[in-house]
Chain A
Amino acid sequence: MTATAPAEAPAPGGKPPADERLLKTSLPRRLLGRPELGSVVGAVAVFLFFAIVADSFLRASSFGTVLYAASVIGIMAVPVALLMIGGEFDLSAGVLVTSSALVSSMFSYQMTANIWVGVLVSLLVTLAVGVFNGVMLTRTKLPSFIITLGTFLMLTGLNLGLTKLISGTVSTKSIADMEGFSSAKALFASQVTLGGVNLKVTVLWWLGLVAVATWILLRTRAGNWIFAVGGGTEAARAVGVPVNKTRIGLYMGVSLGAWISGQHLLFSFDVVQSGEGVGNELIYIIAAVIGGCLITGGYGSAIGSAVGAFIFGMTSKGIVYAEWDPDWFKFFLGAMLLLATLLNAWVRKRAEATR
């Protein structure tokens, strides 16, 4: 279960690595070593807090709303967490969601094509943006913070400029009456009601992404590469990890998440506002960080990012259920996030001390 890169030195005590993998560790000890433990404790704390202060928080219908809010952030938090484990940032993730929705909608509308054509074109365009980010990073050796900041600004301008140029207004035209809309809506924006809980399909997408990302991280070679690249680029390169490919792949992962989120945005409202999405990239990063990702890279988990997104969903909606003055909303949010992250760090320290 250990998620260390093969590039690292053998465990202290002089045991060869072959034996380390055969070591039996007890379950509680294994759990203590997981990056997401702190965030789980934080999530339980936040849940209990709102269950006490807001009486409508515990209703079944409220749970559906909270889960939906969490899933919208969570879908993006998963690939962003992977990227951060790989030691990089993506500040363009927020507007890329909007871009993806815009491309899909406008391509279908302008070409009078089946909706699915637009959806696939959008996937290609969104992936291309990810490749652009990754290639720029590996070619220029500039920090990803700078490169994706540039992409973020360019996309914000493109979203607005192109939408206005093509549609004549700042929002796209409705595509609800076009062929393929209903099937696409079923895939990206449908909902089922289970025992009073209104479950949106995004929750399934989210859990699916978490499962796939966890499998990649813990069970595949690519996962080891991600940890290795985030832990130390040069060391990783020295042992033959394809550093550039891994990074470009990670950015493409973010694109994939943005595409899913973007299609959801489009098919739930069938019209996209071109100015939205700015600022959300930080929320994805925050969710990943609460979930145990280190800003410096090389440590974290996909499950943690999901828990982080869940904390965010609970907080943002819990404040409404608690009927607090919305002027203080951001303050409470910030305080909650700091507390959750501090708790996280504290638990991690304790966990490491008991090893």
Chain B
Amino acid sequence: MARVRTGVRALGAVLAAVLGASLAGCSSTGGKRAEERAEQAAAQGRAAVDTPRWTVGMVTHSGDGDTFWDIVQSGAKQAAVKDNIKFLYAHSDEGQQQAQLVDSYIDKKVDGLIVTLAKPDAMKAVVAKATKAGIPVITVNSGSAESAKFGALAHIGQDETIAGEAVGEELGKRGRKKALCVLHEQGNVGHEQRCAGAKETFDGEMQNLYVDGTNMPDVQASIEAKLQSSKDIDAVVTLGAPFADAAVKAKEQAGSKAEIDTFDLNAQVAAALQADTLGFAVDQQPYLQGYEAVDLLWLHKYNADVLGGGKPVLTGPQIITKKDAAELEAYTKRGTR
């Protein structure tokens, strides 16, 4: 017993010491406190309407812990607060699971659904089931070709082929000759379209490289190996912001001269654009995809409005270079760009 008690006492002493040190050694810059101050400065979200409290469910094809989908969610949540909507979110990167999650929300009798159609065939039946049950469906991000066919109200997102073509043109303008397209989600049709679109408009040579997006060190090593084996690659295009950082590291390790460009945006990408470690970014404004989807469902319930006239509502591509990055950096830090 005595030994246990001294153990507890020692633990208490250690805890006290750690607490004391953390209180005494304050940082006057950054950290949690700076974040709290910034949050207080921002406007407090409150409902701006007096419609009943509707429920909207969103089901995406995202994996766990994905930055991009975090931003989509923050847009959706912002709109949900404003429109007095209860917002539910679920995700799975397996088509079958994603369909089952949509099923669960239909069982819950939600008032509106937001889904992604990265795997359109897996989602076809449940979207039909939802519309049959009288639940309005809005598709976001991927599936512009299938959205109307499946009976969704509208599609909000970026046409992946158009986005890819914009990248191909931009690479050409920059005088690139041999590019690498890094796909981090095997089986994602949208990613394939991006690389195919870039290949289409790029007058140089373009190769695809598949990496395992859930394993960052592996992504870096794969790109590194590729850059080492093909010395003449002068542009690397990654399809997600977190992967741009890995590509930059890989380029340094491999001693390559390639320019790194990326789809999507985050704080690191904005900073890297300003530091010239990245060439350009192609943004599709994920915040807008979440925000507009929820807002559109509200508009549809409140006023029977539909946006887009049966055509996809495009949120991208927006080519972002060094000159836009400074303004966007502040917005990326608060997780809305």
Contact B88 A317 (CB under 8 A): no
Contact B96 A65 (CB under 8 A): no
Contact B104 A273 (CB under 8 A): no
Contact B106 A269 (CB under 8 A): no
Contact A56 B122 (CB under 8 A): no
CB closest residue in chain B, given A72: B96
> Would you list which residues of chain B between 97 and 116 have a CB under 8 Å from chain A?
100-101, 103-109
Instruction: Answer whether residue A4 sits at the interface, using C-beta atoms and an 8 A cutoff.
Output: no
Provide the bound-state CA to CA distance between A59 and B103, in Å. 13
Contact B100 A317 (CB under 8 A): yes
Instruction: Answer whether residue A320 sits at the interface, using C-beta atoms and an 8 A cutoff.
Output: yes
CB closest residue in chain A, given B86: A323
Contact B187 A65 (CB under 8 A): no
Distance between A176 CB and nearest chain B CB, rounded to angstroms: 9
Chain B positions 178 through 207: 1 when the CB is less than 8 Å from some CB of chain A, otherwise 0: 000000011111001000000000000000
If A169-B192, A320-B105 touch, whether A160 touches B186 (CB-CB below 8 Å) is: yes
Q: Which residues of A contact B90 (CB under 8 A)?
A: 320, 326, 329
Instruction: Answer whether residue B95 sits at the interface, using C-beta atoms and an 8 A cutoff.
Output: yes
CB closest residue in chain B, given A68: B100
Contact A269 B121 (CB under 8 A): yes
Q: Which residues of B contact A59 (CB under 8 A)?
A: 107
Contact A56 B108 (CB under 8 A): yes
Contact A65 B104 (CB under 8 A): yes
Contact B100 A65 (CB under 8 A): yes
> Would you list which residues of chain A between 191 and 244 have a CB under 8 Å from chain B?
none
Contact A269 B100 (CB under 8 A): no
14 A-B residue pairs with Cβ-Cβ distance under 8 Å, sorted by A, are A61-B107, A65-B104, A68-B103, A72-B96, A169-B192, A170-B188, A269-B96, A269-B124, A275-B186, A320-B101, A321-B104, A321-B108, A327-B65, A330-B64
Q: Which 9 A-B pairs have the closest CB atoms?
A: A275-B187, A275-B186, A271-B121, A273-B187, A62-B107, A269-B121, A320-B104, A56-B108, A65-B103
Provide the bound-state CA to CA distance between A96 and B187, in Å. 16
Chain A positions 329 through 355: 1 when the CB is less than 8 Å from some CB of chain B, otherwise 0: 110000000000000000000000000
- Interface size bucket, B side? 20 to 34
Distance between A173 CB and nearest chain B CB, rounded to angstroms: 11
Give which listed residue, A170, A269, A317, contacts B122 with CB less than 8 A: A269
Give which listed residue, A174, A268, A270, A317, contacts B104 with CB less than 8 A: A317
Chain A positions 251 through 279: 1 when the CB is less than 8 Å from some CB of chain B, otherwise 0: 00000000000000100111101111100
Instruction: Answer whether residue B155 sits at the interface, using C-beta atoms and an 8 A cutoff.
Output: no
If A69-B100, A321-B104, A326-B89 touch, whether A276 touches B121 (CB-CB below 8 Å) is: no
CB closest residue in chain B, given A261: B96
Contact A273 B125 (CB under 8 A): no
Instruction: Answer whether residue B119 sits at the interface, using C-beta atoms and an 8 A cutoff.
Output: yes
Contact A276 B107 (CB under 8 A): no
Instruction: Answer whether residue B91 sits at the interface, using C-beta atoms and an 8 A cutoff.
Output: yes
Contact B210 A160 (CB under 8 A): yes
Contact B88 A169 (CB under 8 A): no
Provide the bound-state CA to CA distance between A65 and B130, in Å. 14
> Would you list which residues of chain A between 283 and 323 have a CB under 8 Å from chain B?
317, 320-321, 323
Instruction: Answer whether residue A182 sits at the interface, using C-beta atoms and an 8 A cutoff.
Output: no
Distance between B130 CB and nearest chain A CB, rounded to angstroms: 12
CB closest residue in chain A, given B55: A323
Q: Which residues of B contact A270 (CB under 8 A)?
A: 121
Provide the bound-state CA to CA distance between A274 and B186, in Å. 8
Contact B101 A273 (CB under 8 A): no
Instruction: Answer whether residue B94 sits at the interface, using C-beta atoms and an 8 A cutoff.
Output: yes
Q: Which residues of B contact A274 (CB under 8 A)?
A: 186-187
Provide the bound-state CA to CA distance between A59 and B188, in Å. 34
Contact B187 A171 (CB under 8 A): yes
Provide the bound-state CA to CA distance between A269 and B118, in Å. 13
> Would you list which residues of chain B between 59 and 113 have a CB under 8 Å from chain A?
64-65, 88-91, 94-96, 100-101, 103-109
Distance between B55 CB and nearest chain A CB, rounded to angstroms: 9
Q: Which residues of A contact B192 (CB under 8 A)?
A: 169-170
Q: Which residues of A contact B189 (CB under 8 A)?
A: 169-171
Distance between A269 CB and nearest chain B CB, rounded to angstroms: 4
Q: Which residues of B contact A62 (CB under 8 A)?
A: 104, 107-108
Contact B94 A276 (CB under 8 A): yes
Provide the bound-state CA to CA distance between A250 and B89, in Å. 40
Q: Which residues of B contact A276 (CB under 8 A)?
A: 94-96, 187
Distance between A237 CB and nearest chain B CB, rounded to angstroms: 41
Provide the bound-state CA to CA distance between A112 and B261, in Å. 42
Provide the bound-state CA to CA distance between A242 and B289, in Å. 61
Provide the bound-state CA to CA distance between A323 and B87, in Å. 10
Q: Which residues of B contact A170 (CB under 8 A)?
A: 186-189, 192
Contact B95 A61 (CB under 8 A): no
Give the residue among B96, B100, B192 with the most A Cβ atoms within 10 A: B96
Give the residue among A270, A274, A320 with the most B Cβ atoms within 10 A: A320
Q: Which residues of A contact B108 (CB under 8 A)?
A: 56, 62, 320-321
CB closest residue in chain A, given B105: A320
CB closest residue in chain A, given B94: A276
Q: Which residues of B contact A330 (CB under 8 A)?
A: 64
Provide the bound-state CA to CA distance between A305 and B131, in Å. 36
> Would you list which residues of chain A between 49 and 96 have a CB under 8 Å from chain B?
56, 59, 61-62, 65, 68-69, 72
Q: Which residues of B contact A61 (CB under 8 A)?
A: 106-107
CB closest residue in chain A, given B191: A170
CB closest residue in chain B, given A270: B121
Provide the bound-state CA to CA distance between A160 and B210, in Å. 10
Provide the bound-state CA to CA distance between A273 and B96, in Å. 10
Distance between B191 CB and nearest chain A CB, rounded to angstroms: 9
If A56-B109, A160-B186, A171-B189 touch, whether A273 touches B88 (CB-CB below 8 Å) is: no
